[in-house]
Each structure stands twice: as C-alpha cells, then as structure tokens.
Amino acid sequence: MSVAVEQAVRPRDRSERIERIARTALPIAIGVVSIVIWDLVVRLNDLPHYILPAPGLVAKSLWNDWGTLYPALLVTLRITFLALAVAVIGGVGLAILFAQSKWIEISFFPYAVILQVTPIIAVAPLILIYVENTHIALLICAWIVAFFPILSNTTLGLNSADHNLINLFQLYGATRWQVLRYLRIPSAMPYFLGGLRIAGGLSLIGSVVAEFTAGSAGQGSGLAFRILEAGYRLNIPRMFAALILISATGIVIFLFFTAVSHLILRKWHESAVRREN
Amino acid sequence: MLQDATARPLVRLSHVDKLFGNGTLALKDMNLDVGEHEFVSLLGPSGCGKSTALRLVAGLGEATAGTIEWPSRAGGKGLRDIGFVFQEPTLMPWATVFDNVYLPLRLQLVARGKAADEVAAVLAKVGLTGFEGAYPRELSGGMKMRVSIARALVTKPRLLLMDEPFAALDEITRFKLNNDLLELWRSQSWTVIFVTHSVYESVYLSNRIAVMAARPGRVVADLRIGAPYPRDDEFRTSTVYNDYCRQVSRSLGEAMRA
C-alpha cells in the first residue's frame, strides 16, 4: 500500500518541482536572450548610442546617474502613493455611500464613468492651469485615473453579498451599520483588492502622464521629467534608465498588492486557496 | 384532532395571500396553526409556495392579504425568537465556524467573551466540538449544514424554521442529520416548521404534516403522524412508517391533481 502510494506521488512531486523552477527560470531566460539580441543588434549594426544604446550602456547610465534618478524616483513614488491612498479613501468611501442608497448611486455613478473615460492626458493641461500648486495638480491627475477601478469594484463587491445572508441579518434585526460591517465589507474584499491591484499600476501611469504634461522643471521633478530632459539632451541611455526604473516600480507595486491580496484572502477565497485534486 | 395545538398556537396563519411583484400568486388563502412543541412539515411539490410561507413566518416579507399572528406572545411579535436554516448552509466564507455561529449573538450585541460558552455548547450539540477555528470551505456539506443549524440554535429560539435543509445532502448524511435533529428537538422545547418535498423525510421527522398544493399555494391536507418518538433507523423499515408514507403519498398525489 505505502509503496504504491509513494510511486504514485513521486512523479507528481517531480513534475511540480520542475514547474516551480520553470516558473522563474523561463521568464528569466527569455529576458536574458532578449538582452543578448538587443546587444547584438546594436553591435552588428554599429548603432550610435543616441539612437539605441546597448544594454551595458543603459546599465552604466543607471549607475552613474543614480544621483539624479533616485530623487526623481522618490518624487514619482510619493505622488503615486499619495494618489493611490486618496483613491482608496475616495473610492471606498464613495462606494459605501453608493451602497447606502440606490438613488445616490444612480445620481453620481455616470459622473464617475465620465471622469474615467475622459483621457487623462487631455484633462491634465486644464488641471495644471486651474491648480496653482503643480504637486497637487499631479496628485489630482493620478487620483482621477486610479480611483475608478476601486470605486467600481468596491461598489460591485458591496452589492454582491449573498442574498440569503442578507435575509439572515434581517431576521436578527441587524442595523444598516452591522450589515455593512459584518456582511457587505467582507463580501466586497476580494473585489476591492482586485481593484487595488489595477489602481496601483494606474496611479503610477497617472502620475507619469501628468508629469509629462506638466513638464515641471527644477527641484521636485519626477522620473517623467527626467525622461523629457534626457530626450532634449539626446541622452538616450538615461531615458532608458529612467524608463527601466518606472517599469520596475510598476512591477513592484503590482507584486506588493498581489501579496497583500493573497495574505488577506488566503484563508477563505477561491482565488487564494491552493487546492489539491 | 389537534386540540392542544389549536387551543394555543404559537403562530397562526389566517387567509394569507402572497402576490409577488411579477404577478405570481404564490399563496392563496393559506391557513395554518402551529402549536408549541410541534414538529410540522410543509410538504408539497416545488413551486407550491412552501418556502414563501416559511419566509413570511420569519418576517422576511409581508403577506399581501391575511394575517400572521403570534397568539401566545404578548405584543404579538416573536421575531427574535426564530431560528432559520436555509437550503444552502449560507455561511460567511471569510469567517471561522466560531464566528459564523456567534453571528446572531454578535448582531444582538452580546460580547464575544460572553458568547463563547453558548457557542461552544451549541457546537457540542451538533457534534462540531473542536472545529471552532475551521473555515467553511474546509468542511464537508454535512458539517456545513451542522454549522448552519448551530447558528440557528445559538439564540435558543422557540421556533425553528427549516427550508429543505438536507435536500442537497447525500442520503447517509441526511439520515444522520435527521436523527440528530430529532434528538435535539426532543431534548429542547422548541417548535419546528420544516419545509420538504420528501414524503419519507416528512413522515420520519414530523408529528404533523401540512400537505400543500401548487398554483396557488395552499394547505390541502393536515395529517397527524401519531408514531411515538424516539424514532430511529428501525422505524424507517417498520410497517407503521410505510403505512404513513403511503397515506401521505396518496394525499400528496391528490394535492397535485387538485
């Protein structure tokens, strides 16, 4: 019996281990191959560095220009996270308000949609005109982009509480607050966390786009400005370096919220529960 | 026939109609008295309004016409004294077994520490001691239903409403839960209204069966199951049981032709 089980289990164990290794190894391999091809293209065609810099040069630029890029990264990060925080507070607050009354939702939801579908790049110049403080203007732009997924997902989540459970709460004479606290908010959690993952990336995009539009110079300039500046000076390696930093930031934000989501949901939600079949 | 029950019913439905917004007449002139300590089954084909009747008794929705009274209650309201078990376990997936069972007490603002003993006691009653920290997804269908029953019992209700609670379970689990439910009912002082579409289940459990007809839903026969308790698996194979089943089946057949 035990022998049979071992034999049955082992190949599966092995295939699982192979898959686990492949999960990290394959993307890394693809990345390495791409970089090598990139390098070869630059070398074989003898491309000048102001058209396409070789990966080594980009890495060197990232190292040498760290003194310029790092403060810019911090500026971009600050706007991104402030915007995200305000988006979470605003989106969740508004969603809870919507959940209280259908009439409020009917009245305001279309405007939330309008805010979302109007391209931020088209609105940003106006916001920069009306809001004197550039920093706050950037924040508003990033917030507009980030808050909609949180609002719409949380609204959906708050409304998707199990109907029989709502009946049960009714049966025990639960107050509106109790229904919200013990039923609607926990039901909305997976939806909210899904929205948060999207909003994290969007707030970065929002802040970069707004910064491009603002083109603000001097102190307190973020990565987008450094890209513009490097472009004017034909310092293409630095453009790439800044771009890599933005990408890396986006990836880290995504991974961070994926981990947060997993930690919160791992006990009960299908999306986070590992199942053996 | 049911002198003791009709003398002082716990709940009385008189000429109850229920018309849904979509035009469905779910109940028409439904009359039913349920006495204290009775185990009454509402038996009927699907769509006969038995679940609707149960929800009206629970106060989930208003009757379109007619009255639902609580003659034995001062003030006539008995809402907080009701436990409800749905067809699905209807547990909160994000909460542990303890928190699911604690819910009704929490909603009535009983502190967690104060509720702990009662939750433990009721979990012991349904045979789930030791599972306080488990999440619903870790439990089998039968265990989930036990949690659901524990949750309904934790407030010590006088009336337990059950809406086809075991319909989705396999037969072995169902028989076991049938026995456990009877045991609990006999040792406590509650009244049960049990909705089912199974003749065999209703005969096994109840001391009274209200047979309902569909379109519109109404009670067409009121049968007493006089077999004494305790009833166990031996009862399931007895002649008495079979006779009752035959009688109830015949009555149900008539109801479906009506």
Say whether both A62 and A27 belong to one domain: no
- A177: confidence class by pLDDT, cuts 50, 70, 90: very high
Residues of B in contact with A160 (CB under 8 A): none
**Structure confidence at residue A5 (pLDDT):** 45
Q: Tell me whether residue A272 is in a domain.
A: no
Q: What is the mean pLDDT of chain B?
A: 85
Say whether both A76 and A134 belong to one domain: yes
Q: Which ipTM value was assigned to this complex? A: 0.87
Say whether both A59 and A42 belong to one domain: no
**Structure confidence at residue A1 (pLDDT):** 40
Residues in CB range of B200: below 8 A, 6 or more apart:
B236, B245
* Contact state of B107 with A169 under an 8 Å Cβ cutoff: yes
Please check the confidence at residue B19 and state whether its pLDDT lies above 60: yes
**Structure confidence at residue A210 (pLDDT):** 87
* Contact state of B107 with A189 under an 8 Å Cβ cutoff: no
Q: Tell me whether residue A229 is in a domain.
A: yes
Which of the two residues, B208 and A1, has the higher pLDDT score? B208
Residue A120 Cα distances to A92, A143, A195, A207, A262, angstroms: 21, 10, 19, 10, 31
Say whether both A205 and A153 belong to one domain: yes
Burial of B100 (0-12, 13-18, 19+ CB in 10 A): buried
Q: Tell me whether residue A273 is in a domain.
A: no
Please identify among residues 4-63 of chain B the ones whose CB lies closer than 8 Å to any CB of chain A: 55, 58-60
Say whether both A174 and A233 belong to one domain: yes
pLDDT digits (tens, 9 = 90+) for B111-156: 988 899 999 988 988 888 889 899 999 898 889 999 999 999 898 8
Say whether both A89 and A213 belong to one domain: yes
- B3: confidence class by pLDDT, cuts 50, 70, 90: very low
Say whether both A42 and A168 belong to one domain: no
Q: Which residue of B has its CA nearest to A177?
A: B107
* Contact state of A269 with B135 under an 8 Å Cβ cutoff: no
Which of the two residues, A13 and A222, has the higher pLDDT score? A222
How does DSSP classify residue B237?
T
Average pLDDT over residues B183-199: 87
Instruction: Tell whether A11 is within 8 A of chain B (Cβ).
Output: no
**Structure confidence at residue A3 (pLDDT):** 45
Please check the confidence at residue A123 and state whether its pLDDT lies above 90: no
**Structure confidence at residue A10 (pLDDT):** 62
Q: Output the DSSP codes for chain A.
A: -HHHHHHHHHHHHHHHHHHHHHHHHHHHHHHHHHHHHHHHHHHHHT--TTTS--HHHHHHHHHHTHHHHHHHHHHHHHHHHHHHHHHHHHHHHHHHHHHH-HHHHHHHHHHHHHHHHS-HHHHHHHHHHH-S-HHHHHHHHHHHHHHHHHHHHHHHHHTTS-HHHHHHHHHTT--HHHHIIIIIHHHHHHHHHHHHHHHHHHHHHHHHHHHHHH---STT--HHHHHHHHHHTT-HHHHHHHHHHHHHHHHHHHHHHHHHHHHHHTTT-TTT-----
- A202: confidence class by pLDDT, cuts 50, 70, 90: very high
CATH number of B3-257: 3.40.50.300
Average pLDDT over residues A49-66: 91
Q: What is the CATH number of the domain that holds A139?
A: 1.10.3720.10
Q: Tell me whether residue A174 is in a domain.
A: yes
Say whether both A60 and A37 belong to one domain: no
pLDDT digits (tens, 9 = 90+) for B7-18: 578 888 888 888
- A9: confidence class by pLDDT, cuts 50, 70, 90: low
Distance CA A70, CA A65 (A): 8
Please check the confidence at residue A277 and state whether its pLDDT lies above 50: yes
- A108: confidence class by pLDDT, cuts 50, 70, 90: confident
Residues of A in contact with B93 (CB under 8 A): 268-269
From A166-180, A202-216, B126-140, the region with the lowest mean pLDDT: A202-216
Please check the confidence at residue A219 and state whether its pLDDT lies above 80: no
Which of A171, A174, A269 has its CB closest to that of B58? A171
pLDDT digits (tens, 9 = 90+) for B39-72: 999 998 887 888 888 989 888 888 888 888 887 7
- B243: confidence class by pLDDT, cuts 50, 70, 90: confident
Q: Which residue of A has its CA nearest to B135?
A: A268
Please identify among residues 60-79 of chain B the ones whose CB lies closer than 8 Å to any CB of chain A: 60, 79
Burial of B60 (0-12, 13-18, 19+ CB in 10 A): middle
Q: Tell me whether residue A270 is in a domain.
A: no
* Contact state of A269 with B94 under an 8 Å Cβ cutoff: yes
Residues of chain A with pLDDT > 70, as a percent, come to 92
Residues of A in contact with B80 (CB under 8 A): 172-173
Residues of A in contact with B59 (CB under 8 A): 170-171
Q: Tell me whether residue A125 is in a domain.
A: yes
A-B contacts (CB, under 8 Å):
55
Give me the domain span that covers residue A216.
55-265
Say whether both A71 and A5 belong to one domain: no
**Residue of B60, B94, B138 for testing the chain A interface, max A β-carbons within 10 Å:** B94
Residues of B in contact with A164 (CB under 8 A): 86, 88, 90
Instruction: Tell whether A168 is within 8 A of chain B (Cβ).
Output: yes
Say whether both A156 and A229 belong to one domain: yes
Distance from CA of B80 to the nearest CA of A (A): 6
From A71-85, B78-92, B200-214, the region with the lowest mean pLDDT: B78-92
Which of the two residues, A70 and A271, has the higher pLDDT score? A70
List the domain boundaries for chain B. Answer: 3-257
Residues of A in contact with B135 (CB under 8 A): 267-268
Say whether both A99 and A129 belong to one domain: yes
Of these ranges, A27-36, A100-109, A216-225, B174-183, the one predicted with the greatest mean pLDDT is: A27-36
Which of A164, A178, A182 has its CB closest to that of B90? A164
Distance from CA of A141 to the nearest CA of B (A): 35
Say whether both A97 and A234 belong to one domain: yes
Q: Tell me whether residue A277 is in a domain.
A: no
**Counted domains in chain A:** 2
Residues of A in contact with B108 (CB under 8 A): 172-173
Please check the confidence at residue B22 and state whether its pLDDT lies above 70: yes
